[in-house]
Amino acid sequence: MSLIRTEGVTKVFGQNTVLCDINLSVEASEVVCIIGPSGAGKSTFLRSLNQLEVITSGKIFIEDGLFLHRENNATISRANHADYKRMLLEMGMVFQSFNLFPHKTALENVMLAPKHVQKAEKKEIEERARRLLADVGLSDKCDQFPSRLSGGQQQRVAIARALAMNPKIMLFDEPTSSLDPELVGEVLNVMRGLAERGMTMLVVTHEMGFAREVADRVVFMCDGLVAEEDVPENIFTDPRNPRTRQFLNSVL
C-alpha cells in the first residue's frame, strides 16, 4: 500500500508552471530521495503534499484514500473533515530552517503540538518528548533554549518535534542545507537511524552520499518534471536521462 501517491500534480504560479503532471508514490517503510537542481520544483512538491502549497490540479492520496483532488485551481473533492485532519497529522515535516520557538526549551518545543492536538496526559507527553530527544542524541539538552543549541542540535530538536505526533511518513525539505558542513553529519545520522527503524521518508536533499546510501529509490526532478527515477545504483552509475547525467557530473 502506498502511504502517499500523487496523480498528475501540477502547480502554476502566474505564467510559471512549477510542477507539471507529477506522478509519484512512496510505499510503507520506503525511503525516497528527490534530487535535482535548484528551481526544479522539489520543495514545492513536498510542500504541496501537506497543503503548505495548494496544487493547481491533480490528486493526492494518503494510504490509498483520496486526500485532495483539484482541477484548474478548484477543489473537486477531498476527504471529509475528520479524515482530512487525520491525514495531515500522519505527515511529519522537517524544514530547511528549524522554526523552533525561541522562548521555549527543547523539551517544550517537542511537547507543544501533542499538548494542543492530542488528548494524552501532560506527563505522558513529556515522557515521550524526553524519549524522542534521547533518540536524536539530545537527552542532556532538554532544558536548553534554541539560542544555546548549535544548528545541528536545533534541527535534531525539529526532527523530534515532528516525530512527537506519531507520523506515518516523514517529509524532509533539504534538512541540512542551512547547516555548517561539520554539523551535517549529525542530522544525517539521525535520519539514517529513522530509516533503519522502518520510518517511511520522502527526502528532498543535496546530500548525494546520503541518497546513494540510504534511499530505496531516487527521483531526479528538473524543470518541474520527474525526469528519472530508479534505484540509487542505477541513478548514480548509469543514469538514462542526459539531464540527470549532466546534473550528477556537476555535483559529484
Q: What pLDDT is attached to residue 231? A: 98
DSSP state of 39: T
At position 116, the amino acid (one-letter code) is H
Residue length, the chain?
A: 252
Three cell numbers, residue 166: 506519531
| Separation CA 78–CA 149 (nearest Å) | 41
| Separation CA 191–CA 179 (nearest Å) | 15
**Which long-range contacts (C-beta less than 8 Å, at least 24 apart) are formed by 229-232?**
229/24, 232/33
CA neighbor of 244 nearest in space, from 23, 40, 56, 107: 40
pLDDT in tens, 53-101: 999 999 999 999 999 999 999 999 999 999 999 999 999 999 999 999 9
| Separation CA 249–CA 142 (nearest Å) | 42
Q: Are 165 and 113 in contact (CB under 8 A)?
A: yes
CB atoms within 10 A of CB 182: 9
Say what the alpha-carbon torsion angle 187, 192, 198, 199 is, to the nearest 10 degrees.
20
Three cell numbers, residue 100: 523552533
CA neighbor of 22 nearest in space, from 168, 169, 216, 220: 220
Helix (H, G, I), strand (E, B) or coil at 171: strand
Beta-sheet strands, E only, within 63-146: 65-71, 74-78, 91-94
Q: Are 5 and 64 in contact (CB under 8 A)?
A: yes
Query: pLDDT below 50 — which residues of the chain?
Result: none
Three cell numbers, residue 136: 536524536
CA neighbor of 225 nearest in space, from 4, 2, 17, 6: 17
Whose grid coordinates read 534530487? Answer: 35
Three cell numbers, residue 57: 490540479
Q: What pLDDT is attached to residue 44? A: 97
Element (H, E) at 88: helix 81-89
Q: Which residues contact 86 (CB under 8 A, 6 or more apart)?
A: none
Q: What pLDDT is attached to residue 117? A: 86
